[in-house]
């Protein structure tokens, strides 16, 4: 079986350009683990940036490890070495540092499996000094690391570019000075305000089960963690490894900007990556030229690509140089005819738009800043250029949602289809609509962090309602996520360390959440379906992203009042507090 892993890694390395292989002698060895399949991990620009930053340091060797596509056939039998790194086929237990790049809550179970397969104790407290140090980072850790706290030695929170290389250097010096793993972690805390060491904190709970405080166990351990923020958008973010086996195809990825100023109340990335930052047009031109020197196909990444200043000139630059490009997401109200023209010239056949909700009322609740007329006008512009297919993203289970709001999704989709037909001008070909409907999951650091998730039963009923409403609508296909998996995501998104115990039970029961819930001392509904009080201490309150909790509470009140609030005015207001927070 181990030979199967090795053969697969060699095959993938042969298809890649840009991978780094180093001799281990005298270097800090880092296993950079993406706890999901290779194609998804290699589509993560953040994962590639971390790999590049670490390997630019001559004192460090960083190698990649991925969760297998087919765990039941890809893993060595009992007594084997577990997952192997791609570059040198080394087992995880050989590395000095195992750094997990955490993107999704539903990958948490994979983290435990990866450690177990490597014969590394899953619980942090059971590891000895001979075991690798286990570090976590990424957006999932930035939001709420508490369900994962029992399993990690530390988390490095925030935007890695500003601290990662210095952290690797100091970690190397600290761990070679004869300290225990706990002593080494403790010694690094004063130097890195973004370093969170869970074993240095203890949760205390009230009689009603809510969290009272997460208290430091030693003097000098900070009460609050300050996630790192890169000045501007940090170093130019261009993927350094090209491979055909990614979600984006064989494209070089370019980050156009970071954060989003639209202030949608459900969106965590729009709050923890404040203030929104765009790269200067001159810098983006350099990044695009660099990307085109690697591959002729470019993937442009941003929370809203069409909001990027100078996007039309940038996409013109790509097509004029014989390249093609795709985009991660677009805003209906900033989608210009020229950008659509460039997308068509680049060979793009599908465009994604996210109305999120089917009624004007509910879009005001979520602060979407998007009217039905703006949506339909964008559809008209899209369909008049060519027969683009449309991928439309909606959510069900949003706070205050009613049956009328769910029905509104079907009605809006029908009007969109009608507008596509009219705008095609008798062309004969009309793009299809692919409707993607996801369950709302509340996220930390958003105004919706106090709302409960809708019940699995209600979500299934709403899915059924939509299926029936669209069953006879031609040219439309609908896909839904699975409510019970959304429930697990909400548990891991909103839970505290007690949710970590449920996660551990699910791991020990072979991945059975049903068994884990049955044996849990804490009812998981406590984290998923319970409305939270505005004065409640939340499991992530010890993390300070710079956005005031009072601001989120005001936005929560505006949502209940069905009122929108202004978009971000960077440097010109102090509503959320981020612009007054020093870098």
Q: What is the pLDDT of residues 169-179, one digit of tens each?
A: 999 999 887 88
pLDDT for 2 equals: 52
Which pLDDT band holds residue 81 (cuts at 50, 70, 90)? confident
- Indicate if the alpha-carbon torsion angle 253, 232, 310, 432 is positive or negative: positive
Omega before residue 147 within 30° of 0, cis: no
Strand pairing category for 195-196 and 252-255? unpaired
E-strand stretches of 197-291: 201-205, 211-216, 252-255, 257-258, 277-278
Share of the chain above pLDDT 90, in %: 86
pLDDT mean over 30-39: 97
Residue 322 Cα to chain centre, angstroms: 32
H or E stretch covering 250: none
Q: What is the pLDDT of residue 56?
A: 96
Task: Please give the model's pTM, rounded to 2 decimal places.
Answer: 0.95
| pLDDT value at 29 more than 80 | yes
The answer to whether the beta carbons of residues 10 and 84 sit under 8 Å apart is no
Q: What's the token pair of residue 412?
A: 């809006």
Q: What is the dihedral of CA 327, 329, 331, 336, to 10 degrees?
A: 10
Write out pLDDT tens, residues 390-434. Answer: 999 999 999 999 999 999 999 999 999 999 999 987 777 899 999
Contact 455, 439 (CB under 8 A): no
Rounded Cα distance, 79 and 91, in Å: 13
What is the CA angle 119-103-253, rounded to 5?
115
Q: What is the mean pLDDT of residues 170-194?
A: 91
- Asked if 79 and 10 count as a contact pair (C-beta separation under 8 A), the reply is no
Q: What is the model's pLDDT at position 427? A: 76
Sign of the torsion formed by the C-alpha atoms of 357, 360, 365 and 369: positive
- Rounded to 10 deg, the angle between the 456-470 and 483-494 helix axes is 140
Supply the DSSP symbol for 96: S
Q: Are 193 and 185 in contact (CB under 8 A)?
A: no
Rounded Cα distance between 312 and 306, Å, is 9
Q: What is the DSSP string of 180-216?
A: -HHHHHHHHGGG-TTEE-GGGEEEEE-TTS-EEEEEE
Average pLDDT over residues 316-344: 94
For 555, which DSSP code?
A: H
Tokens, residue 389: 């297919």
Q: C-alpha distances in angstroms, 196 versus 163, 398, 502? A: 14, 32, 22
**Bridge partner residues of 63 (DSSP):** 31
Q: What pLDDT is stored for residue 232 in this prediction?
A: 65
Beta carbons of 147 and 106 less than 8 angstroms apart: no
Of 449, 439, 463, 403, the residue nearest 559 (C-alpha): 449
Q: Please, which pLDDT band fits residue 77 given cuts at 50, 70 and 90?
A: very low
pLDDT of residue 14: 96
Unique residue bearing structure tokens 């790509």: 318
Residue 135 · residue 27 · CB < 8 Å: no
Residue 322, judged by CB atoms within 10 A of its CB (0-12, 13-18, 19+), counts as: exposed
Token couple for 363: 């879009």
Radius of gyration over every alpha carbon of the chain, rounded to an integer in angstroms? 24
- pLDDT confidence of 76, banded at 50, 70, 90? low
- Report in angstroms the alpha-carbon separations of 304 from 111, 233, 269, 311, 467: 30, 15, 12, 11, 29
CB of 317 within 8 A of CB of 285?
Answer: yes
Q: What is the mean pLDDT of residues 117-143?
A: 96
Question: How confident is the model over 455-507, as pLDDT tens digits?
Answer: 999 999 999 999 999 999 999 999 999 999 999 999 999 999 999 999 999 99
Q: How confident is the model over 263-279, as a mean pLDDT?
A: 93
pLDDT above 60 (res 49)? yes
The CA angle 48-54-58, to the nearest 5 degrees, is: 140
> Mean of the pLDDT values across residues 214-243?
88
DSSP-derived 3-state class of residue 32: strand
Higher pLDDT, 60 or 232: 60
Q: How far is residue 126 from each of residues 31, 186, 214, measured CA to CA in Å?
A: 20, 18, 22
> What does the mean pLDDT of the chain come to?
94
**E-state strands within 21-74:** 28-34, 60-66
Q: How many other CB atoms are there within 10 angstroms of residue 145's CB atom?
A: 26
Per-residue pLDDT at 412: 98
Residue 353 to residues 374, 436, 493, Cα–Cα distance (Å): 12, 10, 25
Which pLDDT does position 329 carry in this prediction?
85
Give me the mean pLDDT over the 35-46 stretch: 95
pLDDT higher than threshold 60 for residue 1: no
Residue with tokens 């795709």: 326
The CA-CA-CA angle for residues 99, 102, 107, to 5°, reads: 115
Given a cut of 80, whether residue 582 has pLDDT beyond it is: no
Report the SS3 class of residue 285.
Answer: helix
Please provide the DSSP assignment of 111-151 as one string: HHHHHHHTT--SSGGG--TTSPEEEEESHHHHH--GGGGGG
Q: What is the pLDDT of residue 572?
A: 87
Instruction: Indicate if the pLDDT at residue 38 is higher than 70.
Output: yes
What integer pLDDT is reported at residue 78 of this predicted model?
39
Identify the band that residue 148 occupies on the pLDDT scale cut at 50, 70 and 90. very high
Q: Average pLDDT, stretch 572-581?
A: 87
DSSP annotation of 426: T
Looking at residue 233, its pLDDT comes to: 58
Give 343-395 pLDDT, tens digit per residue.
999 999 999 999 999 999 999 999 999 999 999 999 999 999 999 999 999 99
Asked if 55 and 62 count as a contact pair (C-beta separation under 8 A), the reply is: yes
Tell me what pLDDT residue 236 has.
61
């Amino acid at each position: 079986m181990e030979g199967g892993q090795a053969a697969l890694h060699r095959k993938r390395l042969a298809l890649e350009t840009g991978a780094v292989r180093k001799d281990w002698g005298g270097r800090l060895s880092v296993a950079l683990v993406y706890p999901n399949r290779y194609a998804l991990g290699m589509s993560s620009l953040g994962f590639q940036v971390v790999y590049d930053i670490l390997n630019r340091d001559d004192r460090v060797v960083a190698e990649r490890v991925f969760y297998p596509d087919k765990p039941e056939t890809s893993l060595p039998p009992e007594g084997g070495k577990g997952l192997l790194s791609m570059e040198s086929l080394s087992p995880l237990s050989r590395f000095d540092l195992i750094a997990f790049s955490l993107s999704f809550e539903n990958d948490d179970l994979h983290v435990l499996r990866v450690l177990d397969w490597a014969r590394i104790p899953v619980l942090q407290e059971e590891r000895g000094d001979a075991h690798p140090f286990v570090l976590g980072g990424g957006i999932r850790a930035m939001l709420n690391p508490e369900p994962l706290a029992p399993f990690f030695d530390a988390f490095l929170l925030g935007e890695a570019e500003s601290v990662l290389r210095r952290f690797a250097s100091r970690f190397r010096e600290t761990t070679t000075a004869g300290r225990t793993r706990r002593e080494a972690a403790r010694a690094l805390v004063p130097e890195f305000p973004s370093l969170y060491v869970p074993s240095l904190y203890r949760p205390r709970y009230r009689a009603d089960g809510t969290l009272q405080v997460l208290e430091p166990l030693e003097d000098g351990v900070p009460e609050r963690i300050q996630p790192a923020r890169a000045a501007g958008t940090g170093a130019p973010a261009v993927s350094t490894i090209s491979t055909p086996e990614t979600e984006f195809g064989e494209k070089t990825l370019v980050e156009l900007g970071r954060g989003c100023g639209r202030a949608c109340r459900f969106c965590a990335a729009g709050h923890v990556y404040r203030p929104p930052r765009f790269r200067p047009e001159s810098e983006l031109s350099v990044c695009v030229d660099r990307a085109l020197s690697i591959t002729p196909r470019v993937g442009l990444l941003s929370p809203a690509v069409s909001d990027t200043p100078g996007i039309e000139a940038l996409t013109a630059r790509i097509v004029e140089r014989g390249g093609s490009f795709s985009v991660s997401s677009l805003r209906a109200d900033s989608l210009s005819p020229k950008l659509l023209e460039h997308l068509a010239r680049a060979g793009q056949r599908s465009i994604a738009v996210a109305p999120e909700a089917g009624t004007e009322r509910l879009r005001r609740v979520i602060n979407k800043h998007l009217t039905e007329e703006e949506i339909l006008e964008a559809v008209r512009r899209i369909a008049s250029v060519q027969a683009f297919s449309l991928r439309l993203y909606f959510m069900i289970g949003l706070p205050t949602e009613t049956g009328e709001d769910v029905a509104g999704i079907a009605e809006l989709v029908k009007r969109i289809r009608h507008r596509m037909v009219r705008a095609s001008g008798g062309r004969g070909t009309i793009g299809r609509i692919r409707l993607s409907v996801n369950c709302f999951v509340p996220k930390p650091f958003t105004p919706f962090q106090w709302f409960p998730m809708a019940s699995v039963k209600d979500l299934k009923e709403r899915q059924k309602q939509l299926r029936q409403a669209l069953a006879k609508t031609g040219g439309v296909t609908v896909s839904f996520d699975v409510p019970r998996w959304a429930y697990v995501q909400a548990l891991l998104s909103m839970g505290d360390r007690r949710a970590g115990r449920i996660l551990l039970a699910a791991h020990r029961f072979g991945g059975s959440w049903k068994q884990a819930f049955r044996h849990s001392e804490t009812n998981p509904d406590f984290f998923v379906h319970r409305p939270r009080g505005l004065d409640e201490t939340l499991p992530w309150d010890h993390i300070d992203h710079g956005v005031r909790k009072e601001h989120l509470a005001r936005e929560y009140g505006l949502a209940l009042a069905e009122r929108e609030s202004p978009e971000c005015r960077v440097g010109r207001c102090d509503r959320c507090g981020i612009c007054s927070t020093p870098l």
